[in-house]
Amino acid sequence: MIDVHTHVLTVWGGKEALTEEELIKRMDELKIDRFVVLPIGASPETPYFYFGTEDVLEVYSRHPDRVIPFCNLDPRQGYNSPETDFSWILNKYKESGCKGLGELTANLYFDDHLCLNLYKHCGKAGFPIIFHLYNRFGGSYGLVDDIRLPRLEKALKECPETIFIGHAMAFWSEVSGDVQEETRGGYPAGKIEKEGRLQELFNKYPNLYGDLSAGSGFNAITRDSDYGYKFLEEFQDRLLFGTDLCHVVQEVPIVDYFRQGLKEGKISKITYDKITEENAKRILRLGD
């Protein structure tokens, strides 16, 4: 298994944070072979802790056979200009071993000119972007889009060379056609009677992928158990397994969900292999 979404933290909401040693221990316990470590704190909206790209690269230097490092930047860096040249630093991080950028958490509109500039530079560098999508300004972190994701679609059109990997509640709530403003920032429940905007975008844009980590991704595939497995089969080439591990006692039911689903024949071996490993190898260019 390859986990595309983990963190190393110093503090986490009063719970025991996931240090480098604890993260390795959890990965061993869960029998996850390799895992992406995402920097945190590049944007001021994130909580009051910092674990930057250089910190991630230090962890990578000690565990090069396990850790897949990502870098992170804020679109407002470099004089807060839509003309900022991010290429030099992205290439520097690429030479150091980074395979993508994320988790992008700036609380800006998804199609802000500053964001589009960073996206295009990531595309040129060959860096997929893992982004956290939020439903409003203020109160938390994450790029902002309206219901039905029109701003995400604009970015997908304008940045065809850039791979976007969606994460968090405002992204995964769009798996259902009955998404509502009141619930799209949380964990909507109930059967998926009508496919949502996500399925439409997956079918239309080859540069969009989904990060199944955290409660948001897990909720999207389990709120309707019958449809969830169908969704995995249909979009097997566009989905990525992840946990979003942040603290020591965190439960990650998605691990057993996939293994049990394979054992019981609810998902095919081909689908299991693609989502839990092969897709990540392909888009992160892990053979390079």
Residues 257 and 230: their CA atoms lie apart, in Å, by: 14
140 falls within a domain: yes
Residue tagged 């970015």 (tokens):
155
Q: Is residue 111 part of a domain?
A: yes
For residue 255, the model assigns a pLDDT of 98
Instruction: For 24, list phi and psi in degrees, rounded to 5.
Output: -60, -40
**DSSP summary character for residue 16:** P
**pLDDT tens-digit map of 170-214:** 999 999 999 999 999 999 999 999 999 999 999 999 999 999 999
Question: What pTM did the predictor assign?
Answer: 0.97
- Rounded to an integer, the average pLDDT of 115-133 is 98
Whole-number pLDDT of residue 287: 80
Q: What percent of the chain has pLDDT over 70?
A: 97
Give residue 189's region: left, alpha or beta (phi > 0; psi -120 to 50).
Answer: beta
Q: pLDDT at position 288, please?
A: 62
Give me the CATH number covering residue 184: 3.20.20.140
49 pLDDT more than 90: no
In a domain, 22, yes or no: yes
Mean of the pLDDT values across residues 268-282? 98
Per the domain annotation, does 75 fall within a domain?
yes
pLDDT of residue 248: 86
Distance between CA atoms of residues 235 and 216, nearest Å: 17
Q: What percent of the chain has pLDDT over 90?
A: 89
Instruction: Outline where the chain has alpha helix (H).
Output: 20-30, 53-62, 87-95, 113-125, 150-158, 169-172, 197-204, 214-222, 225-234, 254-263, 269-273, 279-283
Residue-number span of the structural domain to which 96 is assigned: 2-283
Torsional sign, CA 157, 170, 135, 48: negative
Q: Are 58 and 47 in contact (CB under 8 A)?
A: no
Instruction: Say how many domains are in the chain.
Output: 1
48 pLDDT tier (thresholds 50, 70, 90): low
Of 124, 56, 99, give the one whose Cα is nearest residue 284: 99
Q: Is residue 288 part of a domain?
A: no
